[in-house]
Structure 1
Amino acid sequence: MLLLYNFGISLYNLLLHIVSFFNPKARLFVDGRKNIFKLIAGKTSADRKHIWFHFASLGEFEQGRPVLEELKKVYPDKPVIITFFSPSGFEVRKNYPLAEAIYYLPLDTQKNAENFIRLINPEIAIFTKYEFWHHYFKVLKNSNIPLLLISGIFRPDQIFFRWYGGFQRNILKNVTHFFVQNQESKSLLNNLEINAVSISGDTRFDRVAEQANSPQQLMQIEKFRGNTTKVFIAGSTWPQDEELIASLQQRAQDWKFIIAPHEIHESHIKQLSVLFPEALRYTKLNEDSDLLAGKVLIIDTIGLLSSAYQYGDISYIGGGFGAGIHNTLEAAAFGMPVIFGPKYQKFQEAKDLLKIGAARMVSSKDDLFAAFEMLQKDHQAGEKSASYVKQHTGSTLQIIKMIKRLI
């Protein structure tokens, strides 16, 4: 099985190089790993111990960020190394100030894992939610370096719990301790005789609660909202989401709409401009823009959505007609009810919000119209959202206690 795994990594690498000739994301993935070990050797001293945080992408970074930042408060002199697997994380956070250095994670081969871990000399490694790499995990264990997985979540349909998943199960057994989101995850791991497991919940609750307590003030969005207008905010949307929202916007002329699409490349923004022909673009705003008269604002830049939610009354979270919905908690933390599409089953918080009446699932325009009307009348739905987030904070401190014992 190891031979097949190594072949898969090599094939993945080859395909990425081919695709990189015409795909910008693949090009960033490939170029970011060129001469990576020379770069690390020049920037990071192997004579000094480091705390290593790895994140698959931007979402996992925001999820693990509370632990990283609390750890820096406890150990301000301990240097942190951050790695990302995907460009969407690295390119946005490559200048994050609390890290000594930020790198793309080299692909998971035995040689890469040995070289990387030797160069960064980690005192502890902390992975967030996803990504289980055979060689990295094996080298860490063989080097007696503690490895934590935080905010983990497991489901019975994952390969670890199938009869043919023995190789993947063995990867899990290299983890020193799991911090998981729910009892189901703990039980699944216990059934594999993996008992170093704690239910800590999801560190995203700590992150979004912190964001809601001290959000970035966005003056142009504040002017767009005005003093009395109700605002519908749609975050991380995809084309199918946007078609539904365009239909709603035509019906709800007394509301203002803010659309923050998941993809902000120019061709997608042009598609949005067809759906919302009168829309203002955030990056094109200037002193002549009539924000108060505007009905639709498209946020065509990265990094504003989590703070933009403070100006909304009802939120829509995109992705529910594709691979799965995006982050509902950022909106819920600001006391907004949330609406999303049918692909939400992998997300515990979405199921919880539905159960307590703080969210509505929609699969058609009529569903969206009905949910919108219902949530306008349900004045407690937003309060339930905020209360749900507040009740689930605290996982960061539980994880920090374990880290203190290990380093």
Structure 2
Amino acid sequence: MALALYTAFYYLISPFIVLRLLLRSIKAPAYRQRIAERFGFFSSPELEGCIWMHTVSMGETIAAVPLVKQLQQRYPGKAIVMTTMTPTGSERVKALLGDSVFHVYAPYDLPCCLQRFLRRLKPSLLVIMETELWPNTLAACQRRGIATVLVNARLSQKSAAGYQRFAALSKPMLQNLSLVAAQTEADAARFVALGMAADKVAVTGSIKFDISIEPALQQQAQQLKAQCSQQGQRLVWIAASTHKGEDEIMLAAHRQLLAECPDALLILVPRHPERFNAVAQLVQAQGFSSLRRSSGELPNASVQVYVGDTMGEMMLLLGAADIAFVGGSLVASGGHNMLEPAAWGLPVLTGPSDFNFLAISQALMQAQALTKIEHAEGLAAELLRLQQPSERLCQGQAAQQMLAANQGALARLLALLAKFIA
């Protein structure tokens, strides 16, 4: 009954979902493209027996890439279908995996959409990244004998409480999963408390720890850092994946930093591409000497703010910095991946909102590799402290050591998935 009511409600609101896409497309035109795919209308090659990998957006897609590449190496005869929900996730699939996978937007969680999707692709396994669970999708896979595995799974107390409020719908949904590979023991315990059988829950750790920086990227970052830092003569810090409301704080902190360290450079990278122009205009309006990454020029000694308004270059821009602030954490968004700057050996700064990466945040804090700040003054003070190379080296090395100590989740996950791949 709960699933039937949910489905009826979803059908009723589906016109408003499309309207929301069209409204979002005013700022991000990609949202109005390929809408038919979301209803299961698309053409594809013959992919029967494929592995269906679902990620939501850019962050989950990037985290899934090492897993996808390992699956391709181990099972070269298995086609892989990648689905996302957002244009930024779609762009990352194309940029990082190209034609080695078949990409299409995920179908809406409606029986008619799912029927068209599954009838065309006929997957044998669905691998879902992190938290993206849909009742009809899992029910449809269960009916067709398609194994479903939730990997890199995390479940906060807040999310668990939300599932519990709708237990009549969420409990059968979770029981349709073949396996949950949780990031932590706490995540695993919450899934079991919600109705998952304990023997269907395993703790693998987070595959986000399994970061490797390719030599070509290291060399490219070294060259960019030499230019940005004027051969090491100026301090470079990056504000990565900032959200609306955070850019003003970053600029205020940078202004305070410039009063003591007048040659410092801020690399300011908004999280969402539809904000690139607005952030660049904000920087100019506040009187900073600025340059946009998309211009193709490199910053000279007079540039105070370098706006990262390109897609797919976050790891490169992190590699050009001395210190990293990770955004989405001074607003109630739960933060973003702090392990990417840790992989570069950077001191990591973040705000108090980190519920999306709580275990990672706690591990970095315990290693004394992460500092939390709450306002521009606190951020400026930390940046001034980290002017000293010895301070940066100590905190950056601690970050890299913590990262190395927690790697191995990818290998454990691949061993579990092998049980479901014929």
TM-score, structure 2 normalization: 0.87
RMSD: 2.4
1:105 aligns with 2:110: no
Q: Secondary structure at the match of 1:149?
A: strand
Alignment check: 8 A CA contact 1:44 1:119 kept: no
Residues 1:290 and 1:55: Cα distance change in structure 2 (over 3 Å): closer
Asked if the contact 1:234/1:318 (under 8 Å) is kept, the reply is: yes
How far apart, in 1, do the equivalents of 2:9 and 2:63 lie? 28
Q: 1:314 to 1:12 in 2, by over 3 A?
A: farther
- Summarize the alignment of residues 144-163 of structure 1 with structure 2, pairs less than 5 Å apart: 144-158=145-159, 159=161, 162-163=164-165
Question: Contact 1:321–1:342 at 8 Å: present in 2 too?
Answer: yes
1:241 is aligned to 246
Q: What's 2:77 paired with?
A: 77
Distance 1:85 1:126, change over 3 A: same
Structure 2 residue aligned with 1:284: 295
Specify the alignment match of 1:230 in structure 2. 235
Distance 2:370 2:341 in 1: 11
Q: Which consecutive residues of structure 1, in runs of 5 or more, have no partner in the other structure?
A: none
Aligned to 1:50: 50
The separation in 1 between residues aligned to 2:123 and 2:310, in whole angstroms, is: 35
> Gaps spanning 5+ residues in structure 2: where?
none
Report 1:141-220 matches (<5 A). 141-158=142-159, 159=161, 162-191=164-193, 192-195=195-198, 196-206=200-210, 209-211=211-213, 215=217, 217-218=220-221, 219-220=223-224
* 1:11 shift after superposition: 4.3
Match of 2:130 in 1: 129
Q: Map 1:3-402 onto structure 2 (within 5 A).
A: 3-24=4-25, 28-29=30-31, 31-34=33-36, 40=42, 42-45=43-46, 48-94=48-94, 96-97=97-98, 99-158=100-159, 159=161, 162-191=164-193, 192-195=195-198, 196-206=200-210, 209-211=211-213, 215=217, 217-218=220-221, 219-220=223-224, 222-228=226-232, 229-252=234-257, 253-264=262-273, 265-275=276-286, 277-286=288-297, 291-322=300-331, 323-347=333-357, 348-377=359-388, 378=391, 379-402=393-416
Asked if the contact 2:128–2:149 (Cα under 8 Å) also holds between the matched residues in 1, the reply is yes
Q: Deviations over 1:312-342 (max 9, x none)?
A: 1111111112212112111111111111112
Which stretch of structure 1 is more off in the superposition, 289-298 or 334-343?
Answer: 289-298
Equivalents in 1 of 2:44, 2:18: separation in Å?
26
Structure 2 counterpart SS, 1:210? coil
**Higher mean C-alpha deviation, range 252-261 or range 77-86:** 252-261
Cα distance change of structure 1 residues 327 and 36 upon mapping to structure 2, 3 Å threshold? closer
Q: Secondary structure at the match of 1:170?
A: helix
Which range is displaced more, 55-64 or 83-92?
Answer: 83-92
Contact 1:235 1:318 in 2 (8 A): yes
Task: Note if contact 2:327-2:350 (Cα within 8 Å) is conserved in structure 1.
Answer: yes
- Contact preservation (8 Å) 1:128, 1:149: yes
Partners of 1:20 and 1:27 within 8 A in 2: no
Deviations 1:50-89 (A, max 9, x none): 1110111111111121111101011122111111112221
Displacement, 1:30? 5.0
TM-score normalised by structure 1 residue count? 0.90
Taking a change above 3 Å as real, the CA distance of residues 267 and 193 of structure 1, as seen in their structure-2 partners, is closer
Displacement of 1:249 in angstroms is 2.0
Deviates further, 232-241 or 86-95: 86-95
| Count of aligned residue pairs for this structure pair | 401
Determine if contact 2:323/2:348 at 8 Å carries over to the other structure: yes
Q: CA 1:290/1:150 → structure 2, altered by over 3 Å: closer, same or farther? A: closer
Shift of 1:98: 5.2
Task: Return closer, same or farther for 1:163/1:270 CA change in 2, 3 Å cut-off.
Answer: closer
User: Does the 8 Å contact 1:329/1:389 carry over to 2?
Assistant: yes
Q: When you count helix as a share of all residues, which structure comes out higher?
A: 2
- Please identify, of 135-144 and 4-13, the stretch whose mean Cα deviation from structure 2 is larger: 4-13
CA–CA distance in 2 between the matches of 1:152 and 1:133? Answer: 14
Q: Percent identity?
A: 21
The answer as to whether partners of 2:37 and 2:107 remain within 8 angstroms in 1 is no
